[in-house]
Amino acid sequence: MGTLALPLLVVLTRRVLLITNPASRRGAALERAAMRAFERAGVACEVVRTERAGHAGEIAQARGRDHDLVFTLGGDGTAMEVAGALAWSGVPIGVLAGGTGNLLGRALGIPRSVKRAVPSLLDGTVRQIDLGVVLGRRFAVAAGVGIDAAMVQETPRWMKRRLGVFAYSLMATRAALRAVLLRRFFAVRIEVGGEVIERRAAAVMFANFGAILEDRIAFGPGIVVDDGVLDCCIFSPTNLRDALRIMWRVTRKDFRPDPSILYKKGTHFRLTTDPVLVLQADGELLGPTPAEVTVEPLAAHLLVPRR
């Protein structure tokens, strides 16, 4: 479901747009590597560099539909700006790793090496996936409050540049331990499908993909990207033992019933927290709660490698 074969893609492709973020990790070197990979594949592409936050979406909106394919080279923020701008357009998007987390590319199984990713995607297939929407921004992987937002907010730039995605893992562990040991929980109220859920939590996530980091961390059971719903995952540890059990289960894909974990599927959620918290979506900090979280079924067309 949601996957379209794309035979003879390299032969048929004539117009490729590459949107790059020169401020991302090793931006200039990666751009050169991408251009060489397109040349080896016999595909000419137009390169446009972003100049500020939000510019990738503006470029995609203005020029993306004039091309057969649009590639992004940057972090998850760049990829999601483009995916959001081209939602419902049918233009396939190829995501090249150029940032710290590269959560979307990893979730799609795209090689992290630009040299390998370009031919893999040019010879790949198109997969339609749902997109979530929160505070006016679209997201592909997950949005949330609590530990994950603290991780995004507190990871310093120098650590991201030196350690890459490992920096996020370190800061996520730090945020989780701090929340539990210092009992920094928050009250959450979620309205979905006529039901009201109220709990004290350390983290709340609205997941579109079921797992991240090459399936090392799984959010919950039965989460797929093309079913037209989002999965709300509420993590409510009360002590260190609960927190360690949750960490064990999400890394082992152990989804047995647990008093500290609650899952709920839906298409429209209303999220309220006390105190007010900052939301993140695909690694980008957005705005404060409360917020509406909705889904746009099969809105994005993404290039994925053939399996």
More confident of the two residues 100 and 271: 271
Percent of the chain scoring above 70 in pLDDT: 83
Phi (first) and psi of residue 215, to 5 degrees: 65, 20
Domain ranges for the chain, please list them: 3-131+300-304, 137-295
Phi, psi angle pair for 264, to nearest 5°: -150, 125
Q: What angle do CA 76, 118, 78 make, to 5 degrees?
A: 20
Say if residue 232's pLDDT is above 90: yes
Average pLDDT over the chain reads: 86
- pLDDT value of position 150: 62
Single pTM value for the model = 0.86
Question: Whole-angstrom Cα distance, residue 104 to residue 106?
Answer: 5
Residue 251's pLDDT is: 82
**Per-residue model confidence (pLDDT) at position 248:** 84
Give the residue with greater pLDDT, 173 vs 139: 139
- The pLDDT score that the predictor gives to residue 44 is 86
Whether the Cβ atoms of residue 217 and residue 251 lie closer than 8 Å to each other? yes
Asked if 3-131+300-304 and 137-295 have one fold, the answer is: no
> Into which CATH architecture does domain 3-131+300-304 fall?
3-Layer(aba) Sandwich (3.40)
Average pLDDT for 3-27: 69
Rounded-to-integer distance, Cα 65 and Cα 62, Å: 8
**Residues 137-295, CATH architecture:** Sandwich (2.60)
Bridge partner residues of 287 (DSSP):
none
Comparing 118 with 248, which gets the higher pLDDT? 118
Confidence at residue 161, expressed as pLDDT on a 0 to 100 scale: 55
Report pLDDT for 85: 96
Sequence-separated (6 or more) residues with CB below 8 Å from residue 80: 104, 137, 138, 139, 140, 281, 282, 284
Token pair for residue 127? 């997969």
pLDDT band, residue 158 (cuts 50/70/90): very low
Pick from 29, 39, 225, 22: which is nearest to 122 by CA?
Answer: 39
Lowest mean pLDDT among 127-131, 212-216, 220-224, 237-241: 212-216
Contacts of 172 (CB under 8 A, 6+ apart): 147, 148, 151
pLDDT at 270 over 90: yes
Tens-place pLDDT, residues 78-135: 999 999 999 999 999 999 998 777 889 988 999 999 999 999 999 999 999 999 999 9
Q: How far apart are CA 150 and CA 282, in angstroms?
A: 13
